[in-house]
């Protein structure tokens, strides 16, 4: 515990406030909504990765029964985007990925819209596609966006390179890597790969939009960030903010995929064309995979130099992102991964180049962990490879390099006593898995005779929110006649448990029972106060700070009224158990209920008025990163952690069984024990999906081949580790609410690294590519068998560094 504070609600395992609605099926998702007169939208999508639209014939579709609107890209003079305004609402001249929407139709029913879509005739001229971002960097590569120079983008933060496929190049420059590499006793190189994957929220993207007279717009959407939807919508159409009303009810999962803006502009345009009838657009699961954003792929490579004693003195890293056809969040993913791009280690000399590259694939966006799962897969495997080169135990090698108080990060931030303790996380997971060093080849050979082999591995992680410097939250606490409170926020709780944590903070601060606080499960830009976005593990942190401020404001209002009635100065009033009283004469008191709508004296005179507490919080002291060196202060808070894994590999099938997965995170302070555990387990299992199962597969022509659950598997109840444990370190975050820091994304990060390292321990084989599915592992085993047969017994040749070296990385 960070302080011996006695909290009544903070830290307790209070169950979700919305539990009853969700277990009775009464929680209303956009998925469940219908409005009077509502039409249904469907889209015709590109069958090519890159193709020119020669002609579109919609004449038959327009005549199809029930059709009310047909839209093609050419009639839409708009572009949309969050950091880079690069996306057409429907493809115009060229479709840039397989699955890109080209024509949209609104009709009386989904079936009628689908039937009309089938009648659209499009003549295509296939064009050469960029399918590998490393090839996309070549000067000879076709340009995914020849008009890149003309796009607007967030200046001072991103650096698109017109005339190339690079939408952003983030540089980190600390010290002198060349000199340090020359001095290093050991230098090693390694390359890694993460495929694109999907969020797979169980509720697919869906929204309803209605264009009303006087350029008024109503939107109901399954989205993470109502105000960002509104802001980007306003920028896209030039409609003033106050005319656009965005409602977000219950949301069936997001994980980053519903951040920013997605279907809302198209639904609005269909509504407008259909004379203002509301239009609902819901993605089928296949469309969710193929047309909606993904997590972009990554090619990473590292050159690392260390002293004989095992201190890393130089790191050169290159990240090449397979960003897909539009920048969306991808540019910021590339940016965020670079300032975390050396791992939680102190490295005096570090150069990172993070290149976000347009390709002709479905575009990437934010996904839980935001570039970190991807980058840390390579970083943490690279640490184990380095330890081996140095003849060091991988845990010990990490001990010698982790960030400790006084260290400077690669962007020049100083780590303090209060930043968090990655070293303690490391020790905890090592202990939990019974870490006893890497096995020798003899030990492995012995184990292999049994057909199943075991191995252990650890991996560290860190992440800070990736968010603009001006990110802010607000909260309102609105008292009701009976003294209960409505907590209004535009943070969206799409499962994380944020609303329960906010209610706990409100109850704690207002000194009242949590049962008397309710958080309405609908955010509405016209009714709930501003919040930037619900992303980046910042919601509970910044939201609680805003709620704490709002509660203090409300109590001040209560005390001001009470001070007149009780004839005591405000400073001498105390609030407890829904009562305000004079500190030294507790019998002089008023219940909140007597005050919160205004106090009435016996003769009828009344004072005060409805109490509405108002609070806000803005991230403090953040700076833009220097465009040339990456130096600056990007982080609200760093959350550190570690995973330790023990696995068993079936040598005949290549299948991995996770026997034990221990996770330690320095969360600063627990806000809600139950939802913290839920976030950790849920995140770890999602991380296992990335580690073992998930990847997009494309045909050589760039068609997505596995847009469904038959071929794209996510973990089921049968895929859980035999044992999982969660461990919490509490190093108080000084500016965090009650000392807490963000933790929703972190459990997912570095799960692949821990499994990959355990896999080396088990097999003596380095794997560089994800996922570690049975096929890949089995092939690795076969390769090792064939290689060891033609070498001397006991001499294990490392497999070639990587099998991805066809491109220019």
Partner 1 sequence: MFDETPQNTLPGAIKLPGAVYTISVEVNGKACTEEAPAQMTLLQFLRERLFLTGAKEGCGVGECGACTVLLNGRAVDACLVLAVEADQASVRTVEGEARDGELTLLQRAFIEHGAVQCGFCTSGMLLSAQSLLESNPHPNREEIVEAISGNLCRCTGYVQILEAIEAVGEGMEEGG
- The contact set with partner 1 (CB under 8 A) reads 13, 15-16, 18-29, 31-32, 199-204, 250-255, 284-285, 494-497, 674-675, 677-678, 681-686, 708-710, 714-718, 720, 724
745 as an active site residue: the answer is yes
Nearer CB in complex with ligand FES: 22/74: 22
Q: Of 264, 288, 374, 745, which is the active-site residue?
A: 745
Q: By CB under 6 A, is residue 715 in contact with ligand FES?
A: no
Nearer CB in complex with partner 1: 13/794: 13
**685 to 714, contacts with ligand FES by CB under 6 A?**
none
Neighbours of 34 (CB within 10 A): 10
Q: By CB under 6 A, is residue 497 in contact with ligand FES?
A: no
Rounded to whole angstroms, the Cα distance separating 209 from 269 reads 9
Nearer CB in complex with partner 1: 51/664: 664
Rounded to whole angstroms, the Cα distance separating 462 from 666 reads 10
Strand segments, DSSP code E, in 73-215 are 79-80, 87-88, 94-95, 101-107, 121-126, 166-174, 186-194, 206-212
* Closest CB 497 distance from partner 1, rounded Å: 7
Nearer CB in complex with partner 1: 193/250: 250
Which does residue 284 touch among partner 1, ligand FES, none (CB within 5 to 8 A, set by kind)? partner 1
Q: By CB under 6 A, is residue 495 in contact with ligand FES?
A: yes
Nearer CB in complex with partner 1: 15/556: 15
445 CB-near residues (< 8 Å, 6+ apart): none
Rounded to whole angstroms, the Cα distance separating 650 from 561 reads 72
Find the residue with minimal CB distance to ligand FES.
202
* Closest CB 777 distance from partner 1, rounded Å: 23
* Closest CB 42 distance from ligand FES, rounded Å: 18
* Closest CB 54 distance from ligand FES, rounded Å: 37
* Closest CB 163 distance from ligand FES, rounded Å: 44
Nearer CB in complex with partner 1: 365/731: 365
Q: By CB under 6 A, is residue 249 in contact with ligand FES?
A: no
Query: Phi and psi dihedrals of 687, rounded to 5?
Result: -65, -35
Rounded to whole angstroms, the Cα distance separating 661 from 644 reads 6
Binding residues for ligand FES, total number by CB under 6 A = 3
DSSP assignment string, 8-42: SSTTS-PPPTTHHHHHTT-PPBGGG---TT-EEEE
Nearer CB in complex with partner 1: 126/673: 673
Which does residue 532 touch among ligand FES, partner 1, none (CB within 5 to 8 A, set by kind)? none
Q: Which residues, listed in sequence order, are joined to residue 71 by a DSSP beta bridge?
A: 104
Nearer CB in complex with partner 1: 201/510: 201
122 CB-near residues (< 8 Å, 6+ apart): 44, 53, 55, 56, 57, 102, 103
Q: By CB under 6 A, is residue 253 in contact with ligand FES?
A: yes
Which does residue 29 touch among ligand FES, partner 1, none (CB within 5 to 8 A, set by kind)? partner 1
Which does residue 806 touch among partner 1, ligand FES, none (CB within 5 to 8 A, set by kind)? none
Nearer CB in complex with ligand FES: 420/495: 495
Strand segments, DSSP code E, in 521-638 are 523-524, 573-576, 579-582, 585-591, 597-600, 606-610, 612-618
DSSP state of 805: T
* Closest CB 253 distance from ligand FES, rounded Å: 5
Coil, helix or strand at residue 77: coil
* Closest CB 204 distance from partner 1, rounded Å: 8
Which does residue 678 touch among partner 1, ligand FES, none (CB within 5 to 8 A, set by kind)? partner 1
Beta pairing, strands 39-45 & 639-650: unpaired
536 CB-near residues (< 8 Å, 6+ apart): 366, 370, 465, 466, 467, 742, 745
Asked whether the beta carbons of 85 and 125 are under 8 A apart, the reply is no
Which does residue 735 touch among ligand FES, partner 1, none (CB within 5 to 8 A, set by kind)? none
3-class secondary structure per residue, 369-429: CCCHHHHHHHHHHHHHHHHHHHCCCHHHHHHCCECCCCCECCCCCECCCCCCCHHHHHHHH
DSSP assignment string, 254-265: -TTTTSS--SHH
CA trace torsion 465, 471, 472, 473 (10° rounding): -50
String marking each residue 186-205 x if it binds ligand FES according to CB under 6 A: ----------------x---
Number of H helices, E strands in the chain: 19, 31
Asked whether the beta carbons of 161 and 147 are under 8 A apart, the reply is no
Nearer CB in complex with ligand FES: 495/742: 495
* Closest CB 23 distance from partner 1, rounded Å: 4
Asked whether the beta carbons of 315 and 302 are under 8 A apart, the reply is yes
DSSP state of 241: G
Place of tokens 């001397």: 792
* Closest CB 521 distance from partner 1, rounded Å: 10
* Closest CB 711 distance from partner 1, rounded Å: 10
Residue in 635, 609, 604 with CA at minimum distance from that of residue 622: 635
Which does residue 420 touch among ligand FES, partner 1, none (CB within 5 to 8 A, set by kind)? none
Query: Of all helices (H) and strands (E), which one includes residue 328?
Result: none
* Closest CB 286 distance from ligand FES, rounded Å: 12
Assigned token pair, 561: 């009224």
Nearer CB in complex with ligand FES: 104/744: 744
Coil, helix or strand at residue 798: coil
Rounded to whole angstroms, the Cα distance separating 88 from 266 reads 10
Which does residue 23 touch among partner 1, ligand FES, none (CB within 5 to 8 A, set by kind)? partner 1
Give buried/exposed letters for 562-572 (b at 16+ CB in 10 A, else e): bbebbebeeee
Nearer CB in complex with ligand FES: 114/648: 114
Place of tokens 């390769």: 783
Place of tokens 């007149």: 564
212 CB-near residues (< 8 Å, 6+ apart): 218, 276
Nearer CB in complex with ligand FES: 182/202: 202
DSSP state of 544: H
* Closest CB 282 distance from partner 1, rounded Å: 9
* Closest CB 19 distance from partner 1, rounded Å: 3
Asked whether the beta carbons of 301 and 191 are under 8 A apart, the reply is yes
Which does residue 385 touch among partner 1, ligand FES, none (CB within 5 to 8 A, set by kind)? none
Strand segments, DSSP code E, in 407-505 are 452-463, 472-479, 485-488
Interacting residue ranges for ligand FES, rule: CB under 6 A:
202, 253, 495
Cite the active site residues: 745
């Amino acid at each position: 515990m960070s302080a011996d504070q006695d909290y009544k609600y903070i830290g307790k395992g209070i169950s979700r406030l919305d539990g009853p609605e969700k277990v009775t099926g009464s929680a209303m998702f956009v998925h469940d909504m219908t409005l009077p007169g509502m039409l249904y939208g469907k889209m015709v999508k590109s069958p090519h990765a890159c193709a020119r639209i020669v002609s579109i014939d919609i004449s038959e579709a327009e005549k199809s029964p029930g059709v009310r609107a047909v839209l093609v890209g050419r009639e839409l003079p708009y572009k949309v985007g969050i950091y880079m305004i690069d996306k057409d609402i429907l493809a115009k001249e060229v479709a840039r990925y397989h699955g890109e929407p080209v024509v949209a139709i609104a009709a009386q029913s989904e079936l009628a819209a689908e039937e009309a879509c089938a009648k659209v005739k499009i003549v295509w001229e296939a064009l050469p596609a960029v399918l590998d971002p490393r090839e996309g960097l070549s000067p000879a590569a076709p340009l995914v966006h020849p008009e890149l120079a003309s796009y607007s983008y967030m200046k001072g933060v991103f650096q698109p390179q017109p005339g190339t496929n690079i939408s952003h190049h983030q540089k980190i420059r600390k010290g002198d890597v060349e000199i340090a590499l020359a001095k290093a006793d050991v230098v090693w190189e390694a390359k890694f790969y993460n495929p694109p994957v999907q969020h797979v929220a169980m509720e697919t993207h869906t929204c309803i939009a209605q264009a009303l007279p006087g350029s008024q717009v109503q939107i109901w959407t399954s989205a993470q960030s109502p105000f960002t939807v509104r802001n980007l919508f306003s920028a896209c159409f030039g409609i003033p903010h106050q005319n656009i009303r965005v409602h977000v009810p219950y949301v069936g999962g997001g994980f980053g995929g519903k951040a920013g803006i997605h279907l809302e502009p198209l639904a609005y345009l269909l509504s407008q064309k259909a004379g203002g009838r509301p239009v609902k657009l819901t993605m089928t699961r296949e469309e969710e995979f193929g047309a909606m954003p993904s997590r972009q792929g990554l090619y990473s490579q590292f050159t690392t130099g260390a002293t004989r004693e095992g201190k890393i003195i130089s790191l050169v890293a290159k990240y090449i992102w397979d960003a897909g056809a539009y920048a969306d969040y991808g540019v910021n993913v590339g940016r965020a991964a670079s300032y975390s791009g050396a791992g939680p280690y102190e490295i005096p000399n570090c150069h990172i180049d993070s290149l976000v590259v347009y390709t002709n694939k479905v575009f990437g966006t934010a996904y839980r962990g935001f570039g970190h799962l991807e980058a840390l897969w390579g970083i943490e495997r690279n640490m184990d490879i380095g330890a081996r080169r140095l003849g060091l135990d991988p845990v010990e090698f990490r001990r010698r390099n982790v960030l400790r108080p006084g260290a400077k990060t690669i962007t020049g931030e100083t780590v303090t006593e209060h930043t968090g303790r990655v070293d303690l996380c490391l020790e905890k997971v090592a202990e939990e898995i019974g870490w006893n060093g890497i096995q020798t080849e003899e030990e492995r050979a012995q184990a292999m005779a049994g057909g199943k082999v075991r191995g252990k591995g650890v991996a560290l992680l860190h992440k800070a929110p990736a968010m603009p410097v001006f990110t802010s939250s607000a909260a309102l606490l609105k008292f009701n006649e009976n003294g209960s409170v409505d907590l209004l926020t535009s943070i969206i709780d799409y499962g994380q448990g944020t609303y329960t944590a906010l209610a706990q903070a409100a109850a704690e601060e207002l000194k009242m029972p949590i049962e008397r606080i309710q958080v309405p499960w609908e955010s509405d830009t016209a009714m709930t106060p501003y919040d930037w976005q619900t992303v980046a593990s910042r919601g509970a942190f910044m939201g609680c700070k805003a709620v704490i401020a709002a509660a203090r404001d409300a109590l001040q209002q209560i005390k001001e009224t009470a001070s007149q009635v009780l004839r005591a100065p405000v400073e001498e009033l105390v609030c407890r158990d829904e009562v305000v009283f004079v500190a030294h004469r507790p019998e002089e008191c008023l219940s909140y209920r007597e005050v919160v709508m205004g106090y009435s004296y016996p003769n009828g005179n009344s004072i005060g008025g409805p109490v509405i507490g108002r609070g806000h919080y803005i991230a403090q002291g953040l700076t833009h990163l220097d465009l040339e060196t990456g130096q600056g202060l990007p982080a609200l808070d760093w959350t550190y952690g570690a995973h330790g894994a023990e696995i068993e590999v079936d040598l005949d099938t290549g299948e991995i069984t996770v026997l034990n997965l221990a996770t330690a995170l320095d969360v600063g302070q627990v806000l809600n024990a139950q939802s913290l555990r839920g976030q950790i387990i849920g995140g770890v299992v999602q991380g296992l999906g990335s580690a073992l199962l998930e990847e997009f597969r494309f045909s050589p022509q760039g068609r997505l081949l596995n847009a469904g659950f038959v071929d794209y598997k996510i973990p089921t109840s049968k895929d859980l580790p035999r044992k999982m444990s969660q461990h919490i370190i509490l190093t108080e975050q000084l500016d965090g609410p009650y000392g807490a820091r963000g933790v929703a994304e972190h459990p997912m990060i570095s799960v692949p690294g821990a499994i990959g390292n355990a896999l080396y321990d088990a097999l003596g084989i380095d794997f560089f590519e994800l996922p570690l599915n049975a096929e890949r592992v089995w092939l690795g085993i076969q390769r090792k068998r064939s290689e060891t047969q033609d070498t001397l017994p006991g001499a294990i040749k490392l497999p070639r560094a990587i099998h991805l070296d066809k491109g220019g990385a």
